[in-house]
């Protein structure tokens, strides 16, 4: 079974790779995962791709069964997870189109099943480095090799959605130190940590956050920017898996 999984969000199903559904049950002890994992080859590495919003894209960020998705990947023996998320840009460096590799996260979401802790097991995991440093550095190196424009570090603020934020909420997040805003970064990262699966995140900035441009946030524009940005995510992944092959 492949050791790598890529969890993809909006727009990522347009990635230019040949993938086919894996014939496994989506049922886990935490309920149903979002979609059948897709399997395919990047270079000589076989990977799993999981669409967190389902196929077709229909599950809202707050309604995603993050625990089932992570439990399914664990059951498949996944050893490292690359998360791809689209986000809005708050900080000036988080310009539309860049690839942003956060190194910290603030969770503003609420009411989501955010832990595997139960009456038998209690996970008090260290989360001072929410993203796996080694995997993050390898992804950054791959992005540099592929000559992609990146921002290496900053705070991801995870909102509840599915509506976008008010400018006042964005100002508050800015004051808190958030550079980017998305709706799906948590509890995914925390759950991966509970399972001790190294996890790193690459974000594609697809719009200025609310109040950070003269225009309101328009879904059609977001879809176009996401689609063109996914080509860069594709180049990042190819570069990453090619570098892996060279190391082996
Ligand atoms: N806010 C929250 N999530 C997002 C945004 C945004 O502006 N853009 C893409 N995902």
Ligand 1 center to residue 170 CA distance, Å?
Answer: 11
So what's the pLDDT on residue 31? 97
- The predicted-structure confidence for 6-19, as pLDDT tens digits, reads as follows 999 866 667 767 88
Burial class (CB in 10 A: 0-12, 13-18, 19+), 243: middle
Question: What span, in angstroms and rounded, lies between the C-alpha atoms of 88 and 102?
Answer: 13
So what's the pLDDT on residue 223? 87
Q: Are 45 and 4 in contact (CB under 8 A)?
A: yes
CA-nearest of 140, 192, 193 to 6 is 192
Ligand 1 center to residue 31 CA distance, Å?
Answer: 27
Ligand 1 center to residue 164 CA distance, Å?
Answer: 6
Quick check: bond before 243 cis, omega within 30?
no
- The predicted-structure confidence for 186-235, as pLDDT tens digits, reads as follows 999 999 999 999 999 999 999 999 999 988 998 888 988 988 899 999 99
DSSP 159: -
Residue closest by Cα to atom 7 of ligand 1: 88
So what's the pLDDT on residue 73? 97
- The predicted-structure confidence for 60-103, as pLDDT tens digits, reads as follows 999 999 999 999 999 999 999 999 999 999 999 999 999 999 99
Percent of the chain with pLDDT over 90: 79
For the question of whether the overall pTM of this predicted structure is more than 0.75, the answer is yes
So what's the pLDDT on residue 45? 87
So what's the pLDDT on residue 67? 98
Domain boundaries, the chain: 4-247
So what's the pLDDT on residue 75? 96
Q: Which residue has the higher pLDDT, 248 or 156?
A: 156
So what's the pLDDT on residue 244? 82
User: Ligand 1: which residues within 6 Å by Cβ?
Assistant: 86-88, 159, 164-165, 181-183, 206-207, 209, 217
Residue closest by Cα to atom 6 of ligand 1: 88
Q: Taking all residues of the chain, what is their mean pLDDT, rounded to a whole number?
A: 94
Question: What span, in angstroms and rounded, lies between the C-alpha atoms of 195 and 162?
Answer: 27
Which listed CATH number (3.40.50.11540, 3.40.50.1580, 1.10.3210.10, 1.20.1050.10) goes with 4-247?
Answer: 3.40.50.1580
Which atom of ligand 1 has the smallest separation from the CA of 207? 8
CA-nearest of 34, 187, 217 to 108 is 187
CA-nearest of 164, 167, 161 to 211 is 167
Question: What span, in angstroms and rounded, lies between the C-alpha atoms of 155 and 22?
Answer: 34
């Amino acid at each position: 079974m492949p050791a790598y999984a890529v969890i993809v969000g909006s727009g990522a199903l347009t990635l230019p790779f040949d993938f086919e559904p894996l014939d496994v049950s989506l049922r886990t002890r935490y309920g149903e995962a979002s979609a059948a994992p897709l399997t395919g080859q990047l270079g000589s590495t076989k990977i799993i791709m999981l669409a967190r919003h389902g196929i077709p894209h229909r599950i809202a960020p707050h309604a995603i069964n993050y625990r089932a998705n992570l439990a399914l990947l664990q059951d498949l023996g996944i050893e490292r997870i690359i998360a791809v998320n689209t986000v809005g840009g708050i900080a000036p460096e988080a310009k539309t189109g860049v690839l942003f590799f956060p190194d910290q996260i603030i969770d503003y979401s609420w009411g989501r099943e955010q832990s595997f802790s139960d009456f038998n097991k209690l996970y008090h995991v260290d989360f001072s480095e929410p993203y796996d440093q080694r995997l993050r550095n390898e992804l950054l190196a791959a992005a540099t090799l592929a000559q992609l424009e990146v921002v290496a570090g900053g705070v991801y603020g995870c909102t509840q959605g599915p509506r976008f934020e008010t400018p006042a909420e964005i100002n508050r997040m800015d004051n808190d130190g958030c550079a980017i805003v998305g709706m799906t970064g948590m509890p995914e990262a925390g759950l991966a940590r509970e399972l001790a699966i190294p996890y790193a995140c690459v974000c594609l900035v697809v719009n200025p956050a609310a109040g950070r441009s003269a225009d309101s946030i328009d879904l059609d524009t977001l879809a176009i920017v996401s689609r063109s940005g996914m080509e860069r995510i594709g180049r990042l992944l190819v570069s990453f898996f090619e570098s892996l092959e060279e190391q082996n």
